[in-house]
């Protein structure tokens, strides 16, 4: 028998760099985000904009397995781009739509503490990894209760004065897991495609549901690759750690969710 949860509903929603880079798509997404009822937390990436900005400053961008090698110069760029340019633009736009957004890095309020990735074969530089104690969920819940909508950028800190660059998908998953103790939490990854596709070039080939067994098959067939792999790894981890549902879908279709219509790819155990 299903037990009825007394917890309040919360959506943790992440938007990626391709949406942020397109002002029209971002506008529609933020409008739909505002229309979504209940408690909300937004997490944004912006890797694409950071790469463009670094190039303009003559700094080469190096990525390994989807993670940015973050030397001190690159850390300065991502701090400006994620913590400043993108975060404050999103907050200002959300205010226009009536969402009382508050823009944050993990250092603000000590909400997300990370550990600098240890050097093994690769030195990622100032990249932060999260652990089970990284997120202060009760502090975030106080912000939500006070009527604010937190907007997190892809920056964390080590508690010792050092900002760290942390993948935004990972931040969204860690926030959802930590907040699932307090809220009935749904994690939504929004990007530029309709969801996980059978054929990456055919937007109509949407796969509606994926469980771990199907995920293994799709990986073997190389139907799922590149940036989608860490996204789904984070997503399945979130489900196994108490998050009620994880959905991956197109940013400009988020409104479907509010209208109770099908949206994107749903992951299940
Ligand atoms: N089967 C698939 N369906 C959809 N996208 C896929 C698939 N396999 C790989 N991808 C890739 O994953 C990317 C999304 O991951 P990522 O670049 O990390 O997104 P984000 O914009 O959220 O940062 C897509 O742009 C696409 O190129
Ligand atoms: C360590 C690391 O790789 N951090 C990411 C953070 C931004 C991000 O995740 O942006 P998207 O969601 O747009 O890809 C980066 O700098 O690219």
Quick: pLDDT tens for 108-120: 999 999 999 999 9
pLDDT at 189: 97
Q: Indicate whether 1 belongs to any domain.
A: no
Q: Indicate whether 249 belongs to any domain.
A: yes
Q: Indicate whether 2 belongs to any domain.
A: no
Q: Indicate whether 254 belongs to any domain.
A: yes
Protein residue closest via CA to atom 4 of ligand 1: 196
Q: What's the domain count of the chain?
A: 1
**Global confidence as pTM:** 0.96
Separation CA 263–CA 195 (nearest Å): 8
- Decide: 78 and 128 in contact? Cβ < 8 Å: no
Ligand 2: centre distance to CA 101 (Å): 21
Quick: pLDDT tens for 5-23: 799 999 999 999 899 999 9
Ligand 2: centre distance to CA 250 (Å): 18
Partnered with residue 163 across adjacent β-strands are 157
Long-range contacts at 133-137 (CB < 8 A, ≥ 24 apart): 134/106, 134/174, 134/178, 135/111, 135/174, 135/175, 135/177, 135/178, 135/179, 136/109, 136/110, 136/111, 136/112, 136/178, 137/178, 137/179, 137/181, 137/182
Quick check: CB of 207 below 6 Å from ligand 1? no
Q: Indicate whether 4 belongs to any domain.
A: no
What's the chain's average pLDDT? 96
Quick: pLDDT tens for 36-95: 999 999 999 999 999 999 999 999 999 998 899 999 999 999 999 999 999 999 999 999
Q: Indicate whether 59 belongs to any domain.
A: yes
Q: Indicate whether 180 belongs to any domain.
A: yes
- CATH code: domain of residue 75: 3.40.1160.10
The yes-or-no verdict on residue 123 having pLDDT over 80 is: yes
Q: What domain range includes position 20?
A: 9-267
The yes-or-no verdict on residue 1 having pLDDT over 80 is: no
Q: Indicate whether 3 belongs to any domain.
A: no
Counting from 1 in the atom list of ligand 1, the atom nearest the Cα of 196 is 3
């Amino acid at each position: 028998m299903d037990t009825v949860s007394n917890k309040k509903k919360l959506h943790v929603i992440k938007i990626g760099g391709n949406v942020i880079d397109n002002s029209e798509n971002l506008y529609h997404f933020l409008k739909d985000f505002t229309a979504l009822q209940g408690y909300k937390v937004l997490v944004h990436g912006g890797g694409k904009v950071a790469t463009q900005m670094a190039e303009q400053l003559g700094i080469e961008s190096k990525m390994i397995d989807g993670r940015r090698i973050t030397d001190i110069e690159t850390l300065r760029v991502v701090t400006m781009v994620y913590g400043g340019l993108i975060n404050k633009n999103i907050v200002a736009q959300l205010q226009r739509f009536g969402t009382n957004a508050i823009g944050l890095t993990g250092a603000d309020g000590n909400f997300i503490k990370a550990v600098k990735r240890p050097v093994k074969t690769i030195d990622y530089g100032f990249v932060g990894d999260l652990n089970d104690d990284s997120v202060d969920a009760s502090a975030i819940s106080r912000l939500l209760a006070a009527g604010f909508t937190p907007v997190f950028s892809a920056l964390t800190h080590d508690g010792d004065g050092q900002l760290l660059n942390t993948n935004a998908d990972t931040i969204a998953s860690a926030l959802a897991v930590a907040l699932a103790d307090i809220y009935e939490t749904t994690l939504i990854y929004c990007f530029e495609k309709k969801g996980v596709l059978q054929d990456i070039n055919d937007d109509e080939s949407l796969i509606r549901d994926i469980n771990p067994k199907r995920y293994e098959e799709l990986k073997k067939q190389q139907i799922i690759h590149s940036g989608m792999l860490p996204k789904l790894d984070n997503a399945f981890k979130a489900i196994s750690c108490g998050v009620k549902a994880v959905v991956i879908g197109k940013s400009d279709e988020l409104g479907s969710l509010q209208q109770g219509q099908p949206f994107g790819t749903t992951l299940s155990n």
